[in-house]
Chains A and B, each alone.
Chain A
Amino acid sequence: MITNLGIEENREWRCLLCDELLKLAKVRIDYMNGSFTVELPCCPECGMALVPEEIALGKMLEVEKLLEDK
């Protein structure tokens, strides 16, 4: 199942190694015994993913806390 984080298509960040604009792609994120597939801005070449600040401090933090209390 893909969890939609509501991230808009990236127009700001480029991967410097590949000189590519980051595009939304499916990424697996893990913590403790939880694993989710989400869409994050990623480099189309090397796959380097960006976790935006509002996601890190918002939804991701919420899920982290839930998993920690499992």
Chain B
Amino acid sequence: MDQKRLHQVESQCIQEEAPACRSACPLHMDARTFLLQVGKGQWNDAWKTLNKTLPFPAILGRICDHPCEESCLRSTLGGAIRIGELEKTCLNQPRPRIRVIPMPKKNRRMAVVGESLSSLVAALDLLRKGYDVTLFSSQERLGGTLWSLSDETLPKDILKSELEILETLGLKVEKTMLDNSLLTQLQQEFSALYLGLDSPSGAAMAQGGKPSGKTFALGKEGVFAGGACDEHGRLSPVYQSFQGRAAALSMERFSQNVSLVEGRRDEGPYPTRLFTNIEDIEPLPVALPPVHGEKGYTTDEARAEALRCIQCQCLECLKVCPYLDYFKGYPKRYAREIYNNASIVLGNHSANLMVNSCSLCGLCEKICPENFSMAELCLSARRDLVQHNKMPPSAHEFAIQDMQFSNSEQFMLTRHAPGQTKSGFAFFPGCQLSGSDPDHVIQTYSFLRNNWAQDTGLMLQCCAAPAHWSGDEAKTQAAISLLEKTWQTMGEPRMILACSSCLDMFRRYLPDIEVISLWQVMDQCQLPHYAAKPVGTTMALHDPCTSRHDPQLQSAVRSLALKLGITLEELEFSREKTECCGFGGLMENANPALAQKQLERRTSESDLDYLAYCAMCRESLKGAGKRTAHLLDFIFPQEVMGVDPADRARTGLSESRENRSRLRKDLLSQVWNEPLETESESMLQISPEVQATLDQRRILHQDIRATIAHAEESGRKMQSQVSGHFLASHRPFMVTFWVEYSLAENGYHIHNSYCHRMQVMGGKG
């Protein structure tokens, strides 16, 4: 990702966009922060917030026509926050000391014509920037019509003291009769010139000329003007101020000979892109000042009114995604962190965990008003890490090895249906269903041949999803090529896929292959007469995240459930807004604690039993303690009565591999009558507690067997003088496994096992 792309990605997240009140204010006063501070009674801070953007805050805050209120999102929920009134209350509190760091003096002279508000603001801004400013006026004093306001609106002493700052900053005032002949003279003597159209002299010198919309240039070399009435003849103090300020910026740019227009898109009021969800916001009426009437709010009343502020922000994605919430930021910030992570040469890649923890489920993209995709960002960052050899090896290694297992002769199987020489269709159950529920794969395959097409062949292998999720493009491509080759060997059949992740992978990488979901096929068939009809059962349906963009598939599943007599409850987040089970994108591999949080959220959405149609979702949900059945549990019910499909335990990692190997053997034996010799393996006696530890540490029985075999063959093992147990280690790849065991009848009793990635190089001293 280069800088340009980063900016594109960043701009898609609108969390940092201004709230409506601020973007509606020509001066962009930070009303949201101001209201937060008033709500907390932090008057000094609130004062400082006003001072940050408002020129002459003690004046403008009292006379502002507050367009912010018109755009306040509270308008329809009890009435707009009375920001104008709250500013007055704040300004009536003691003014805090605010340090102003003077800018170095600049060797340029600026002229300002007029004594009214816009001219004063232009002069103030230029003085603050260090310019030598001379104000020309035909009047006795500065302020113009401000002096005619009532004392209740703007006390004279405040007006006087607020304008004194101009003198302090070194404003030179020339009282002179102004006429048009002076204009040329001022143009020659000064770097730039401002004509306040809200002052009679400024207006006269402009000779009816209208300044341009953004730069306030008057069409004469170095002459700028502002402060005019709006198209309805109204004089708005905040617009007068804004025009004086914007013109002063143009004068500065003109004097420096730089572009007048560059980077000024969001100057003045503009419609904000910030989205704020107000669906769940309760209406709250405006806190009217009950006693003081026209005198405004007391501080307590003001605080109550300020607390009605919604504090507009988006964060829609964080509300639905534990991953986005986990890293305590929001997508725009994450994009920056991920960019920095990729740019680091020396030092810690602190965003690796963030990059690898996303489930790539795509929910944020659906929820985001601007369709920001964390999945796209994270996947491209993963690819970048892999390419630069910076991907932490532990993040996805187990999943990649599992994929390699599925693409080895221990699982791979490619066959036409028995008695067939070609395949019009091929059933592709995928790794997870095969590992979780091999018997149902056999039953489904039989069902397809008998009810869909006799020439339905079988393909057991991996769809390459783990490699794709890990960002390893070379491994993905290799697995995809293998898949394509197998498919060609089969005579290019139409593929029937049980898993929506496999479907997604085929569509993504092999778009020319015709694919259909198993569920759509089954929905077109007569279901087996022995299918369970749990009439009266209500279940909550969990759509897998990889089915998000496949409404036909989702509808087929609902139709099948209906035929089975299951009443379905739609979860709040279902179909295109469904949530991941924590397995997607290899989240569980890279960040098990986060996957747990993801599952906690998902499983708490309904008290009903869940119905899943992705084997991995079922495993994950059940692993989190949620009663979850798989759709095939009802289509092909167990013959044993009283088996509760929602209560079937989660399949362990070793069990999943053993199931896949067994499935291959059973299919060859039962369907093609090609029984394989079963290799005798030593028995491992493992208690459920130890097995749970092994699964949590991702230690497989094959790792344990290899470690013991290594120890027994070499004699290199230790023995405890306390328990008599043996302890041995073995490093078959980048991981060292330790196994504590003792001899048992026909095998070994496994007491404990753990692993680490650091390599002990040995040596004494």
Contact = CB atoms under 8 A, between A and B. Distances in A.
B762 A27 contact: yes
A27 B718 contact: no
A63 interface: yes
A25 B762 CA distance: 10
B394 A68 contact: yes
Interface residues of B, number: 36
Contacts of B752: 53
Contacts of A44: 764
B760 A29 contact: yes
Given A13-B718, A14-B718, A26 B765 contact: yes
Contacts of B348: 66, 69-70
Nearest to A34: B758
Q: Which secondary structure characterizes the binding site on chain B?
A: mixed
B394 A12 contact: no
Contact of A69 (B392, B718, B729): B392
A50 B762 CA distance: 10
Contacts of B761: 27-30
Among B350, B718, B726, B761, the one with the most A-chain Cβ atoms within 10 Å of its Cβ is B718
Interface in B711-734: 715-722, 726-727, 729
B756 A56 contact: yes
B719 A13 contact: yes
Contacts of A13: 718-721, 727
A64 B756 contact: yes
A28 B763 contact: yes
B394 A64 contact: yes
A48 B718 contact: yes
Nearest to B726: A16
Contact of B718 (A22, A32, A63): A22
Nearest to B756: A56
Interface string B733-746: 00010100000000
Contact of B755 (A56, A63, A65): A56
A16 B437 CA distance: 43
B207 interface: no
A19 to B, nearest CB: 10
Contact of B721 (A12, A49, A70): A12
B388 to A, nearest CB: 13
B759 A68 contact: no
A7 interface: no
A12 B720 contact: yes
B680 to A, nearest CB: 26
A17 B713 CA distance: 12
B155 interface: no
Contact of B759 (A25, A30, A65, A70): A30
A16 B764 contact: no
A14 B719 contact: yes
Among A16, A30, A46, A57, the one with the most B-chain Cβ atoms within 10 Å of its Cβ is A16
Contacts of B285: none
Contacts of A31: 757-759
B719 A56 contact: no
Interface string B51-67: 00000000000000000
A68 B716 contact: no
Interface in B338-357: 347-350, 352-353
Nearest to A70: B348
A21 B393 CA distance: 35
Nearest to B717: A16
Contact of A60 (B350, B756, B763): B756
A13 B725 CA distance: 9
B754 interface: yes
Contact of A12 (B722, B736, B754, B764): B722
- Ranked nearest first, the 9 interchain pairs of A and B with the lowest CB-CB distance are A68-B392, A56-B756, A28-B761, A31-B758, A13-B718, A69-B349, A29-B758, A49-B760, A53-B754
Given A11-B721, A16-B718, 8 more contacts: A13-B720, A13-B727, A17-B717, A26-B765, A47-B764, A56-B756, A63-B758, A64-B394
Interface of A: 11-17, 21-22, 25-32, 40, 42, 44, 46-51, 53, 56-57, 60-61, 63-66, 68-70
25 contacts: A14-B718, A16-B715, A16-B718, A25-B764, A26-B763, A26-B765, A27-B760, A27-B761, A29-B761, A32-B393, A40-B760, A49-B762, A50-B718, A51-B736, A60-B756, A61-B756, A63-B758, A64-B756, A64-B758, A66-B348, A68-B392, A68-B394, A69-B352, A69-B353, A70-B347
